[in-house]
């Protein structure tokens, strides 16, 4: 009863026949009321969550708040056995297609609860984000909104009760229908609020102008009182325990490397000697600048050289300096515990701004995913990489979002402050 454009033809015809009997309308209404009550108290949510609001949803299901009291305890892992989705957390662009697919596969009647600021409007990712959907209602029709970041379990219970009230009102006269999604383009809400606030302040100043002028005429010597500034309390600086150096010292590390690669320099300290590098302190991690033509050979040497033993890749990332890229590699010796950072400058292609450098994924297996990430977000090509394709974004995503020159107003709202 009460699905799409009304009940099924058989149920509708039976209802019309019963209504012709004296008292039949009351009987049909009673049956519809009973069916709606049963549906409202037996909603089966899909096991689905994308981010931090999922923790609050789990807390709501747990013993303290016990969502089972409302008939929502049967969490299903299949959309064919569920009729409700709780959007709990951030919805990324790569997750969007999967969410729409899940909703379309779910049998009707079906319902959506948007839980938390991210699911409602993108939350803290509304500005300066290239990959977060600005609200779940742009993908699927939402029935109940629960604000908060994150909302407490009590708020989710309130949202569940609001959905129950909506379901109880559905029937032949008010059938369930597939809702519409939000098609309004997103805008700079903060700047809009600033303009509205400034207009209100201007109007209030106009309304109070005469009163202010009259007060100044009657009290020409009056001045606004200034709040007294409290004296800032000073706290003693805590003593910091000096870290114990692990593994090879910076002196030995730099001296060994420069014997093999004389052109390598310390980042931010050009032409520094190994002795002076040691004076930077044991907490300073040696950060080297390696010419791009020696990038792969350098990585191979510091890994295979027995005295260095830098065999563990911690991170491979990239920095866009507008004129060029820096590919930054962070290594650790799992045997001795010392670390080494090194970077190579990658020139930008004049046509499309891409860069190119040799892969080290065959030397450090973890570099395979790290290099794909750099390619995905910066567009840097790694020669001879075994599987160079996007890892976070869709294959048809336009551009590379972590570049300085990236600008896509259809996806990104720039922060106005």
3-state SS of the chain is CCECCECCHHHHHHHHHHHCCCCHHHHHHHHHHHHHHHHHCCCCEECCCCCCHHHHHHHHHCCCCCHHHHCCCCCECCHHHCCEEEEECCCEHHHHHHHHHHHHHCCCCCEEEEECHHHHHCHHHCECCCCECCCHHHCCCCCEEECCCCCCHHHHHHHHHHHHHHHHCCCCCCCECCCCCCCCCCCCHHHHHHHHHHHHHHHHHHHHHHHHHHHHHHCCCCCCCCCCCCCCCCCCCCCCCCCCCCCCCHHHHHHHHHHHCCCCEECCECCCCHHHHHCCCCCCCCEEECCHHHHHHHHHHHHHCCCCCCCEEEEEEEEECCCEEEEEEEEECCCCCCEEEEEEEEECCCCCCCEEEECCCCCCCCHHHHHHHHHHHHCEEEECCCCCCCCCCCCCCCCCCCCCCCCCCCCCECCCC
Residue 171 has pLDDT above 80, yes or no: no
Q: Assess if residue 415 is contained within a domain.
A: no
What average pLDDT does the segment 382-395 reach?
A: 92
Instruction: Provide the pLDDT confidence category of residue 6 given band limits of 50, 70 and 90.
Output: very low
* Whether 268 and 156 share a structural domain: no
**Where residue 409 falls among pLDDT bands split at 50, 70, 90?**
confident
User: What pLDDT shows up at residue 2?
Assistant: 45
Q: Which residue segment(s) compose the domain that 89 sits in?
A: 9-168
Q: Are residues 149 and 37 in the same domain?
A: yes
Cis, bond preceding 162 (omega within 30 deg of 0): no
Residue 372 CA from chain centroid, whole number: 20
What's the pLDDT at 263? 92
pLDDT of residue 23: 59
What pLDDT shows up at residue 241?
A: 77
Quickly state the pLDDT bin for 11 (edges 50, 70, 90).
low
CATH number of the domain encompassing residue 318:
3.30.460.80
> Rounded mean pLDDT of 176-182?
87
The answer to whether the beta carbons of residues 347 and 355 sit under 8 Å apart is yes
Share of the chain above pLDDT 90, in %: 43
Asked if the structure places residue 236 within a domain, the reply is no
Same domain, 159 and 256: no
Is residue 208 domain-resident? Answer: no
Residue 312 has pLDDT above 90, yes or no: yes
pLDDT of residue 162: 92
Residue 397 included in any domain = no
pLDDT of residue 265: 92
**Per-residue pLDDT at 63 exceeds 80:** yes
Asked if the structure places residue 332 within a domain, the reply is yes
Do 143 and 29 fall into the same domain?
yes
- Residue 145: phi, psi to the nearest 5? -110, 135
Residues 294 and 151 in one domain: no
Ranking 152-161, 216-225, 280-289, 325-334 by mean pLDDT, the lowest is: 216-225
Q: Count how many domains the chain has.
A: 2
Tell me, yes or no, whether 281 and 144 share the same domain.
no
Residue finishing a domain among 168, 192, 226: 168
Please give the residue that has the higher pLDDT: either 369 or 73. Answer: 369
Residue 226 is assigned to a structural domain of this protein: no
**Domain membership flag for residue 243:** no
* pLDDT computed for residue 28 by the predictor: 66
Q: Residues 120-170: pLDDT tens digits?
A: 999 889 988 998 999 999 999 999 999 999 899 999 999 999 999 998 888
Residue 206 inside a domain? The answer is: no
Over residues 344-363, mean pLDDT: 90
Q: Give 14 or 348, the one with higher predicted confidence.
A: 348
**pLDDT for residue 5:** 47
Say whether both 143 and 13 belong to one domain. Answer: yes
Q: Is the dihedral of CA 262, 381, 399, 132 positive or negative?
A: negative
Check whether residue 21 and residue 164 sit in a common domain: yes
The pLDDT of residue 302:
94
- Is residue 58 scored above 70 in pLDDT? yes
Checking if the pLDDT of 7 tops 60, the result is no
Preceding amide of 221 cis, omega within 30: no
Average pLDDT, the chain: 87
């Amino acid at each position: 009863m009460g699905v799409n454009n009304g009940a099924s033809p058989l149920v509708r015809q039976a209802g019309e026949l019963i209504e012709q009997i004296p008292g039949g309308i009351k009987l049909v209404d009673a049956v519809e009321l009973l069916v709606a009550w049963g549906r409202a108290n037996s909603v089966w949510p899909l096991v689905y969550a994308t981010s931090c609001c999922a923790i609050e949803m789990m807390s709501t299901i747990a013993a303290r708040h016990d969502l089972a009291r409302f008939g929502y305890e049967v969490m299903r892992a299949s959309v064919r056995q569920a009729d409700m989705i709780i959007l709990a957390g951030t919805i990324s662009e790569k997750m969007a297609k999967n969410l729409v697919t899940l909703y379309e596969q779910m049998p009707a009647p079906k319902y959506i609860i948007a839980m938390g600021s991210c699911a409602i409007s993108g939350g803290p990712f509304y500005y300066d984000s290239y990959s977060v959907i600005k609200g779940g209602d742009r993908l699927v029709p939402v029935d109940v909104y629960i604000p908060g970041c994150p909302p407490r379990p009590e708020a989710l219970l309130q949202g569940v009760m609001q959905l129950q009230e909506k379901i109880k009102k559905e029937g032949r006269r008010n059938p369930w229908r597939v809702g519409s999604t939000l098609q309004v383009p997103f805008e700079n809400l903060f700047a809009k609020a600033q303009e509205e606030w400034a207009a209100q302040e201007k109007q209030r100043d106009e309304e109070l102008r005469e009163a202010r002028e009259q007060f100044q005429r009657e009290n020409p010597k009056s001045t606004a009182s200034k709040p007294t500034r409290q004296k800032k309390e000073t706290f003693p600086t805590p003593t910091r325990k000096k870290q114990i150096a692990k593994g090879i010292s910076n002196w030995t590390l730099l001296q060994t490397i420069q014997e093999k690669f004389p052109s390598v320099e310390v980042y931010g300290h050009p032409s520094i000697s190994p002795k002076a590098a040691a004076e930077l302190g044991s907490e300073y991690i040696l950060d080297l600048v390696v010419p791009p033509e020696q990038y792969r050979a350098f990585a191979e040497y510091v890994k295979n050289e027995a005295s260095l033993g830098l065999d563990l890749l911690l991170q491979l990332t990239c920095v866009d300096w507008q004129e060029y890229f820096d590919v930054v590699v962070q290594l650790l010796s799992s045997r001795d515990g010392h670390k080494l950072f090194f970077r190579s400058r990658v020139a930008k292609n004049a046509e499309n701004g891409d860069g190119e450098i040799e892969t080290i994924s065959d030397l450090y297996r973890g570099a395979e995913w790290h290099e794909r990430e750099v390619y995905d977000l910066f567009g840097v090509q790694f020669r001879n990489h075994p599987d160079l394709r996007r890892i976070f974004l869709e294959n048809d995503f336009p551009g590379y979002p972590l570049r300085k020159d990236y600008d896509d107003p259809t996806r990104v709202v720039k922060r106005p402050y």
